Amino acid sequence: MIADLIETIAKILFVFGINMGFFSPILGWVERKQSAVMQDRVGANRADIMGYKAIGLFHPIADAIKVMVKEDFIPDGANKIFHTLAPFISLTCSIVTFAVVPFGGQYEIFGHKVNLVIANLDVGILFVFAFASLAPYGAVLAGWSSNNNWSFLGGMRASAQMLSYEVAMGFTIIGVIMVFGSLRLTDIGMMQEDFFRWGIFLQPVGFILFLTCAIAENKRIPFDMPEAESELVAGYFTEYSGMKFVMFWMGEFLEIVTISAIVTTLFFGAWHLPFITDADLVNFFSFAGQTGSNFLAILVNVATFLMKVIFFIWLQMTIRWTLPRFRYDQVMKLGWKMILPISLINIFITAVIILV
């Protein structure tokens, strides 16, 4: 019992630390620096410590100091309870989803079996969809509670976009469930130990559709209609400042990480290296003893998983700074008239192939 408790606490601290302590602040820098590189600009480079600028890496620290001293403003006529609750919903849902995402396999450390996932649920994919569908409620509540026409319109757009792409995203993943025969993300990850059994080879159409729907759910360009600065000022969080504004900002960045982790788990071999099984990895480090070899295998598998996640973060950032914003009618047409029918056709073809 004590070993299980220590294991669970360690995994929670790792997931929380890697998200809130690394990805969340560093993605603010990546957002600025990658766009600058793509647009032939210098990017963030002003913040320094004793003259050292570290290619702009001190900017997240400067941002944190700035938002902590900014005034928390709530406009007249706003619903104070929901105005305060909305950013907490957006941020919490982004973090909680990681509870069922495996970042490694099963290992034996000091005679104790370690499973690198916080909650190994039988319905892991459904858990992901349940909390992913709750995140847009933060945007809807923010828009409604702010007593601002632009915020309200942004919240309405967020709700319509959520309904449109949540349905399609659910169908895009059905093919993966049919192929692997499980809703448990750890099982899906383990079944991709063979390189040619990676989900991208079994469900290439599903991957493209799922990634498109996930970006739309995250309200990132080219699907940022709920924010649309040129039309709605800042959309649903126009009336936010200080820490509550940053919570929306962090929630959006953490959803990028969540999307990358889910895509890695479902389509790109999870924590596995190509052509190398977990057993091969443990045997390779056999010189370190049973516990040492398993521990080294954990480091390699976790590093592999994180590198894949970082690649998909880069891909999403590249898409964000490459494509122009869609019109609102184009966003709706893409979801209902294109992605949804193609996902249903993909399910039908997958079923026929499995049956044959």
The tens-digit pLDDT sequence of the chain (356 residues) is 677 778 788 888 888 888 888 888 888 888 888 888 888 888 777 777 877 777 777 777 887 788 778 777 788 888 888 888 888 888 888 888 888 899 888 888 877 788 888 888 888 888 888 888 887 888 888 888 888 888 888 888 888 888 888 888 889 999 999 999 888 899 899 999 888 889 999 999 999 999 999 888 888 888 887 777 777 777 777 888 778 888 888 888 888 999 999 999 999 988 888 888 888 888 888 888 888 888 888 899 999 999 999 999 999 999 988 888 888 888 888 888 899 999 999 999 999 999 98
Reported as a single tens digit per residue, the pLDDT across 197-241 is: 899 999 999 999 999 998 888 888 888 877 777 777 777 778 887
pLDDT digits (tens, 9 = 90+) for 55-102: 777 777 887 788 778 777 788 888 888 888 888 888 888 888 888 899
The count of structural domains within the chain is 1
Question: Is residue 32 in some structural domain?
Answer: no
Give 124's Cβ-side CA count (13 Å radius): 24
Contact assessment for residue 298 and residue 288, using Cβ atoms and an 8 Å cutoff: no
**What is the number of other CB atoms lying within 10 angstroms of the CB of residue 96?**
19
Distance CA 213, CA 297 (A): 34
Give CA–CA dist 21/253, Å, rounded: 13
Identity at 354, one-letter amino acid code: I
Handedness of CA 108, 114, 117, 123 (dihedral sign): positive
What is the structure's pLDDT at 25? Answer: 82
Residue 89 Cα distances to 4, 25, 281, 345, angstroms: 29, 19, 40, 35
Domain span at 265: 73-355
> Does residue 105 sit within a domain?
yes
For 298, the 3-state DSSP assignment is helix
Q: Which helix (H) or strand (E) segment is 240 a member of?
A: none
3-state secondary structure of 254: helix
Task: Give the burial class of 258: count Cβ atoms within 10 A of its Cβ; 0-12 exposed, 13-18 middle, 19 or more buried.
Answer: buried
Residue 9: is it exposed, middle or buried by C-beta count within 10 angstroms (0-12/13-18/19+)?
exposed
In a domain, 83, yes or no: yes
Contact 158, 220 (CB under 8 A): no
Q: Is residue 304 part of a domain?
A: yes
CA separation for the pair 349, 161 (Å, rounded): 27
Residue 303 in domain: yes
State if pTM tops 0.75. Answer: yes
Contact 198/335 with Cβ under 8 angstroms? no
Residue in this structure with the two tokens 């003259």, named with its chain if needed: 51
Look at residue 342 in the predicted model and tell me its pLDDT: 93
Q: What integer pLDDT is reported at residue 282 of this predicted model? A: 85
Please tell me the predicted confidence (pLDDT) of residue 323: 84
